[in-house]
Amino acid sequence: MAAWTITGRKHIFNVIFVTVVFSLNVLQSSSNPLSYFGSTEPLYGPNDKVFILNATNIKDKIFKSEKVWFVEFFSSWCGHCINFAPKWKKFAEDLWGWREVVVVAAIDCADDNNTPACREFNIMGYPTLRLFPPRSPPLVEASEREKSKGIMETVNKGTDVHKSESMEKLKRNLIDELAKFYPKLLHFSKLPGVSVNELWQKDEFRFNVKPSFLLIIYESETSYVGQEVALRLSIHDAIKVYRFDKKNSIYSQFQLQGWPAAGYISDDGTSGPVILGNDNIIDTLCKSALSLAKISSESSSPTPQLPLPGLKQDYGGPSEKHNRANTVVASNRDVVSMDDLLHAVRDSLHKEIALVKLIEGQKLEALKLFVDVLNQLFPADRREVKIFLEKLEDWISQKTEIESSDFLAKLDQLETELRPWDIDMNNWDECRGTVAGRRGYTCGLWRLFHALTIVGVQKNSKLKVLNAIHGYVKEFFGCRECKEHFTGMVTRDKILSVDSIMTQALWLWKIHNEVNLRLIGAPSEDPGFPKQRYPNKEQCSECYDGLVNFDEGKVMEYLLKKYSNPQRSSHERKLDEDIIANSRGRRSGVGGPSALSLMSGADPCCVPPAPWLHPLQNGWKAKI
């Protein structure tokens, strides 16, 4: 008994030692700017003029505010969001002078802490732009469906604003909305027979502060020049902008000429025309007004955003450098990771499907088919994963509609019972990017889709695998542009009418290459994994019939080899080899706990044998 106790203690010491070493290695690699990145970082930082919202502050900021809040709900893994981010930053910079009227903000729905907030605001795709008027109430009247369940009020979700790729068009759309809330600032003045004295006495001043300088603009009814000038100068109480769409006595008094035209009046008695010139009229008017009013230009630097207590605020910095030394090696490496496949399944359930507040109709049918295909074809290497998918499918199959709260509760119940995700959910394995925020979920999802079709080929499955993938993308995938491209290719090629699983698997491979070609050089591209044809010649030289053309038969052999046998994380595999080496005295069939499970607080008695050891491998046995 004493000998066993010593051996047992020795084993526990070894496990703890390896765990600590592994933890230190992980921490060291995560702080190294030349390491691979497992988690995403925000697309916006404190030096941008985009106000960063999160689940903790969003309601306090946008509700009952005296300003309009223009919010982008985005996901840091979404390629379209990554491509859109520079435009949103520039948009916020252009509108920095409007900050007394409107705040340009953003919230990352990919952050686990923010996901519940995005669900509450019913965000169904990325990026989503929402406008919240000044003094917006936090709650509004619930829908009839919600009232039938005793819910009388629901969160104010704001107003959707169409996302235009043209920032100028988006700016004009915003001005149209702002005019509804700030008529004194943005509407034309209706003063028949107006005189200079009337302008000084007119009660149209913001915050009841009498200005010392009046800028008078004459322009057509459809022009946005005067409105933008008024918004840019709105941070200066000393300046008041008047707009007229018809000539009046002041136009003649100032001897103005042409159209548009502008003049000014100062409380020191000076007045006259403003020369517009041939340059940007808006810039000219703003600079002239500030100069004539003897006001220095406002600082272009935003007020630094202070980190909130208890919240991780990581804005990149040196870690945005990519691992140039590993670029070639990384791009040619082709290992399908079980950890990434599990990560993709888990994220699809929690961060995509669970965002839908009520799953019914086509969405429910898509969910049923997707989970059915996962249950039948996911290449699980642990029975806990298989049982999890079986029980989830059984539960979903009995439903005519599912609320997100019930779906999440079921996931939580099954995950607590079975612990299917024996991986580090904070990091990706082979889908880890060399630049923070790249690859990750989209890489994992592509590999999951390929794995499902390839295992379908291997099993000669009659399941509608591609229908399931198409349904998931159409009904649940968050990236709007990606969804449109994928469903468009499905429609274009009429692939859902093809019954052959082999043909469907090859089609998925082909369109993945098509997507890669389209994304070459895009901001969402990882420089360590440049977009290229897959597999490349270094990965599979025999897959090429000559210099350019693929040999599809060889490609299928390659895909079958790669995707039918996913590998466990190299970190985990090495870690458990060390643990097993120090546990040889234990009885066959009883595995020591993995260091990862100890790190996550799992009960060692309930952890299965090392999951990357397949049945009967090295004398170990596992129930299947």
Q: What is the mean pLDDT of the chain?
A: 79
For residues 517 and 444, state if they share a domain: yes
Residue 263 makes CB contacts below 8 A (sequence gap 6+) with 216, 250, 251, 254, 256, 271, 272, 273, 274
- Inform me whether the pLDDT recorded for 229 exceeds 90: yes
In a domain, 622, yes or no: no
Question: Which tokens in the block code for residue 457?
Answer: 């080929």
* Residue (of 173, 174, 181, 187) closest to 217 by Cα position: 187
In a domain, 619, yes or no: no
* Per-residue pLDDT at 41: 56
In a domain, 571, yes or no: no
Which of the listed residues 117, 146, 176 is the one where a domain comes to its end? 176
* Per-residue pLDDT at 520: 87
* Per-residue pLDDT at 552: 95
Which of the listed residues 142, 176, 210 is the one where a domain comes to its end? 176
Residue pLDDT, tens place only, 111-134 = 889 999 999 999 989 999 999 999
- Inform me whether the pLDDT recorded for 577 exceeds 70: no
Residue 312 makes CB contacts below 8 A (sequence gap 6+) with none
* Per-residue pLDDT at 193: 58
Residues 607/43, Cβ–Cβ less than 8 Å: no
Q: Mind giving me the DSSP string for 56-72?
A: TTHHHHHTT-SSEEEEE
* Per-residue pLDDT at 134: 93
Lowest model confidence (mean pLDDT) among 10-19, 212-221, 565-574, 609-618? 609-618
In this prediction, residue 317 has a pLDDT band, given cuts at 50, 70 and 90, of very low
Question: Domain range holding 125?
Answer: 51-176
For residues 331 and 187, state if they share a domain: no
* Per-residue pLDDT at 298: 52
For residues 218 and 134, state if they share a domain: no
For residues 268 and 391, state if they share a domain: no
In a domain, 621, yes or no: no
Number of domains in the chain: 3
In this prediction, residue 594 has a pLDDT band, given cuts at 50, 70 and 90, of very low
For residues 280 and 328, state if they share a domain: no
> Rounded to the nearest 5°, which phi and psi values hold at 181?
-100, -20
Most confident of 107-111, 453-457, 595-599: 453-457
User: CB atoms < 10 A from the CB of 367, how many?
Assistant: 26
Centroid of chain to Cα 87: 15
In this prediction, residue 622 has a pLDDT band, given cuts at 50, 70 and 90, of very low
In a domain, 24, yes or no: no
User: Which residue did the predictor score with more confidence, 546 or 59?
Assistant: 59
Residue pLDDT, tens place only, 254-271 = 888 888 898 898 888 888
Residue 581 makes CB contacts below 8 A (sequence gap 6+) with none
Question: Which tokens in the block code for residue 460?
Answer: 């000669």
Evaluate if pTM is beyond 0.75. no
Buried residues in 62-77 as b, exposed as e (16+ CB within 10 A): bbeeebbbbbbbbbbb
* Per-residue pLDDT at 246: 83
Decide the pairing of beta strands 139-141 and 153-155: antiparallel
For residues 165 and 214, state if they share a domain: no
Residue length of the chain: 624
Give the mean pLDDT of 608-624: 30
Separation in Å, CA 514 to CA 28, 488, 621 = 38, 13, 43
In a domain, 68, yes or no: yes
Q: What percentage of residues in the chain have a pLDDT greater than 70?
A: 75
- Inform me whether the pLDDT recorded for 40 exceeds 80: no
For residues 129 and 103, state if they share a domain: yes
d(CA 598, CA 580): 15
For residues 285 and 354, state if they share a domain: no
Lowest model confidence (mean pLDDT) among 141-150, 153-162, 485-494? 141-150
Q: What is the DSSP letter of 348?
A: I
In a domain, 250, yes or no: yes
Residue pLDDT, tens place only, 169-225 = 999 999 999 999 988 888 887 665 566 776 776 655 444 567 889 999 999 888 999
What is the SS3 assignment for 470? helix
CATH number at residue 369: 1.20.120.310
At 530, which helix (H) or strand (E)?
none
Residue pLDDT, tens place only, 278-295 = 778 899 899 989 988 888
At 545, which helix (H) or strand (E)?
none
Most confident of 99-108, 420-429, 527-536, 565-574: 99-108
- Measure CA of the first residue to CA of the last residue in the chain; give whole Å: 33
Q: What percentage of residues in the chain have a pLDDT greater than 90?
A: 46
Mapping DSSP onto H, E and C, the string for 120-175 reads HCCCCCECEEEEECCCCCCEEECCHHHHHCCCCEEECCCEEECCCCCHHHHHHHHH
In this prediction, residue 334 has a pLDDT band, given cuts at 50, 70 and 90, of confident
Question: Which tokens in the block code for residue 260?
Answer: 């548009």
For residues 264 and 130, state if they share a domain: no
For residues 189 and 92, state if they share a domain: no
Decide the pairing of beta strands 51-52 and 102-108: parallel
* Per-residue pLDDT at 484: 93
Residue 506 makes CB contacts below 8 A (sequence gap 6+) with 552, 555, 556
Residues 196/250, Cβ–Cβ less than 8 Å: yes
* Residue (of 527, 534, 366, 374) closest to 449 by Cα position: 374
For residues 171 and 82, state if they share a domain: yes
- Inform me whether the pLDDT recorded for 446 exceeds 60: yes
User: CB atoms < 10 A from the CB of 473, how many?
Assistant: 22
Residue pLDDT, tens place only, 370-422 = 999 999 999 999 999 999 999 999 999 999 999 999 999 999 999 999 999 99
In this prediction, residue 300 has a pLDDT band, given cuts at 50, 70 and 90, of very low
Residues 136/62, Cβ–Cβ less than 8 Å: yes
d(CA 348, CA 345): 5
CATH number at residue 210: 3.40.30.10
* Dihedral sign (CA 491, 493, 498, 500): negative
For residues 355 and 272, state if they share a domain: no
Which of the listed residues 154, 176, 198 is the one where a domain comes to its end? 176
In a domain, 9, yes or no: no
What is the amino acid identity at position 249?
S
User: CB atoms < 10 A from the CB of 35, how many?
Assistant: 16
